[in-house]
Every structure is written in C-alpha cells, then in structure tokens.
Amino acid sequence: MEHERAKTGELERSLTVFLAGAECPFTCSFCDLWRWTLEGPTPPGALPAQLERALQELSGPAPQRLKLYNASNFFDRRAVPSADLPRIAQLAEPFAAVTVESHANTIGPLTLEFQKMLSTRLEVAVGLETIHPIAAAYLNKRLALSSFDRAAEFLIEHDIDLRVFVLLGAPHVPAAESIEWTVQTVEYAAARGAARVAIIPVRGGNGELERLQGLGEFTPPTLVQLELALEQCGPIRSAVVTADVWDIERLPGCDSCRSQREARIRTMNASPEFPPPVPCSTCA
C-alpha cells in the first residue's frame, strides 16, 4: 500500500498486488522478475484466486487505485488466460482505477476487450527503459521506438492512461551520461502522452548485471543520481514523474546524508514543489 501523486497534485492511495504467473518471454538483461514466475503457462483461475486472497486482507474503504503486476505481460494470453479477465475485472470494481503492466508489443485488441469489461478506468504501464540507441539495442527487450510510439498512440486514442517505466543506470549507458539519458527518456515518454513516468534505478542481483559490470558495461546507479534525475525532471508538467523507492536502501550513497536524501526524494515524489538540496560536506 502506498500513496501516489496524481496530476491534480492530490495523493491517491494505491494497492499493488503481485501475481505469480507465466514467465515473460522477453529476457531483458536488467530484469530479475523471472525469479517470481511459474514454469509453463499460467493455470486458468490462478490469478483471480491470488487476487481474491489479497483483497480479503483489506479493511476499510478500498484504495483509489489497484495495480496488478504479474512479472510478465498482462495482455499475453500465456501469462493471463483470457477466461480469467472477466473475474479480474469484477474484482477491480471497488477501485476507481486499475493499472496493469505489459510490453508495448502485446498491446492491442485484448487491451480493448479488458477495458470494456472494466467499470473503472484502465491504465497500462509500459517499460520504455531508455532511448539511448546503443543501450536499447543490447537490453534484449526487442522494443523499437516505433513500436513504443504505436502502443502509446493506441492507448491514448482509446482513452487508456499510459504509465511508463524509465531506467536509471541502464546497462551500456556510460555512467557519466546516465542522468542525461534518463531525463531525455522521461521527456520522450511525456511527449507521447504518458500521464505518469516512474524512474527505476537498475539494481543488481540477477547474474547478468554482475557479468556486465565485470565487463565495464554496467555501473550501479547511486542515490545521488536518482535524486538529481528526479530533480532535473521537475520542469516536466505534462506528466507526474516520480522515483521508484522500493529497495532504495540498496543504492550506493553517503552515510552522512543518506537519510536526508531519501526523505527529499520521497517529498519530491509527493509534491511538484521540491525542497532545497541537501547540503553535505562529504559528498561535495
């Protein structure tokens, strides 16, 4: 359960439910979500059963937003059986909005089918990751910018909200250029209609990133870089830009100012008005 800033400036309560299903067919080099997936197709009925159990734990009024993250692609029938969509839509009825995640290449007719089943507003989260031309080609994501553009246009045309994930510290992006390319990618997503953009610092631990780090092709992003990337996205007003703070304690940072920087990032996530920079003689 967390609070997210809406375009109105207000904070909305959102509930994220992680659903275990089939592994994503896209083997992105930065991803470790395959560790929480199933071998083989998702059994029919499994996802609604998981969602029912999660929602049974709620007490009081429902949060405004329900986010369903299945570590794969919601509009891949192997990951989310079509027969389960009506029950999932029914379970989402108490919420004002529902967010699902899917690769841009899987967005299409099934997206519209699910939208018609919902009595609430649909948002689709799409990983753009980076527009750095070399890095994008080596991420194994198999996503051309033209495909992302078509998916974004499709969603906007059908009145479906677009949330975009952007990486900080993407493999194959020089560390000295990391912030610059992150900001450019956020600007690219906002220009194509994204209502929300989340900056996600790349975190090691999947094996492949450690291999790339050994080759000098990946440098773990720092807490200061995340703070600066978010700060430099401040002038963007067409989209709500936030920093992903899950596992923020894993980011390399200065012990003297870490707590203040983490607090500043959380404040910038919650408000378009940024607090003053954190002074630190150690980082200076």
217: exposed, middle or buried (Cβ count in 10 Å: 0-12, 13-18, 19+): middle
Q: What percent of the chain has pLDDT over 70?
A: 98
| pLDDT tens digits, one per residue of 17-59 | 999 998 887 877 677 766 777 889 999 999 999 999 999 998 8
Domains of the chain: which residue ranges? 2-270
| pLDDT tens digits, one per residue of 193-224 | 999 999 999 988 778 888 888 999 999 999 99
Whole-model pTM above 0.85?
yes
Q: What percent of the chain has pLDDT over 90?
A: 78
| pLDDT tens digits, one per residue of 142-174 | 889 999 999 999 999 999 999 999 999 999 999
The architecture (CATH level 2) of 2-270 comes to Alpha-Beta Barrel (3.20)
| pLDDT tens digits, one per residue of 58-106 | 888 889 999 999 989 999 999 999 999 999 999 999 999 999 999 999 9
Instruction: Write down the pLDDT at residue 282.
Output: 85
Instruction: Write down the pLDDT at residue 24.
Output: 80
